[in-house]
Chains A and B, each alone.
Chain A
Amino acid sequence: MTATDTEPAAGTPCSDQVFRDNLVAIIPSLRSFGRGLCGNREMADDLAQDAMMRAWAARRSYTAGTNFRAWMFKILRNQFYTTVRRNARMVSWDPEVAERTLVADANQHDRINVADVAAALQKLPEAQREVLMLIGANGVSYGEAAEIMDCAVGTIKSRLARARVALAALIDGPGDAVDAVPGGRTPAAVPDGGRHHYPA
């Protein structure tokens, strides 16, 4: 069940109880999105909790029948960038947590070690990391991602393509990157307009 399944029809008020139920349903996605953005379990959970509290405080501004998931992701994302700006020297990647929580099936052909992907994600510009987590991990649409990231759908598609190539290059090395991307395009300019990296 998605968060939107319990929403009332557009134009009707969203009761506190329905809003609360939507918050419960979105918790796993918030935690996952936050984890991918910052690579740190504790920080990700702080971001998710902060997003929940901000959303609750602003619940009267939420329009029933609109995209609750996108609304929540946007709140978390804004908080993430605020935190990044505040802590310019923060270290995000937590290899111990990754080792503990990300189980790999490295022996299987055509499978990529999940811990490698998680580590490589943190080396990408934030905008690329974000689009991979939104579409690749959380299954949001191009339109939703555009709404969340405040850009055009075309920008999302091109950014996603570049992000996939960049991630493949980080995981496999530039020579293997084409093989890791279906329809393998030649890696072009890898970093796109992403903002800044977390310094390691």
Chain B
Amino acid sequence: MASKRSGNEVTEATEAMLGNAQSGRRPDPIAIALKRMHSEVASEAVPGDFLDILAAIDRKIGSDEPGR
């Protein structure tokens, strides 16, 4: 997987679903609901299991540091 992201593509894809003021298109209520779904999950506190994984990674990084 070597391709890079294109910021223009993100705008195109997002606006295609959400609509925008310039185009005068009515915003898509489904797209808005999907964005809100994402926002709801993203605003939740990250469960402890994730933090445990990160802690294990931190220990690994720490143990790999030179001089340890």
Contacts and interface: CB of A to CB of B under 8 A. Distances in A.
The A contact surface, by secondary structure, is helix
Contact of B12 (A27, A66, A141): A141
A11 B49 CA distance: 33
Contacts of A27: 46, 50
Given A20-B54, A111-B29, A67 B4 contact: yes
Interface string A130-143: 00110111111111
A198 B25 CA distance: 35
A101 B44 contact: yes
B32 A70 contact: no
- Band of interface residues on A: 35 or more
Contact of B37 (A32, A110, A147): A32
B61 A31 contact: no
Given A135-B13, A139-B13, A164-B30, A67 B41 contact: no
A137 B34 contact: yes
Which residue, B3, B26, B29, B53, has most C-beta atoms of chain A within 10 A? B29
A143 B9 contact: yes
The B contact surface, by secondary structure, is helix
A16 B53 CA distance: 14
Interface residues of B, number: 42
Given A23-B54, A103-B40, A132 B34 contact: yes
A107 interface: no
B66 to A, nearest CB: 13
A199 interface: no
Interface stretch (A79-87, A88-96, A178-186, A189-197): A178-186
A67 B9 CA distance: 13
20 contacts: A16-B57, A27-B46, A28-B41, A29-B42, A31-B41, A66-B1, A67-B4, A101-B41, A103-B40, A132-B34, A133-B34, A136-B17, A137-B37, A137-B38, A138-B38, A141-B13, A142-B9, A164-B17, A164-B31, A182-B27
Given A117-B34, A164-B30, 14 more contacts: A29-B38, A32-B41, A36-B38, A63-B1, A110-B29, A112-B33, A114-B40, A117-B33, A135-B17, A136-B30, A144-B10, A171-B30, A181-B28, A182-B25
Interface of A: 4, 10, 16-17, 20, 23-24, 27-29, 31-32, 35-36, 45, 48-49, 52-53, 56, 63, 65-67, 69-71, 74, 101-103, 110-114, 116-118, 132-133, 135-145, 147, 160, 164, 167-168, 171, 180-183
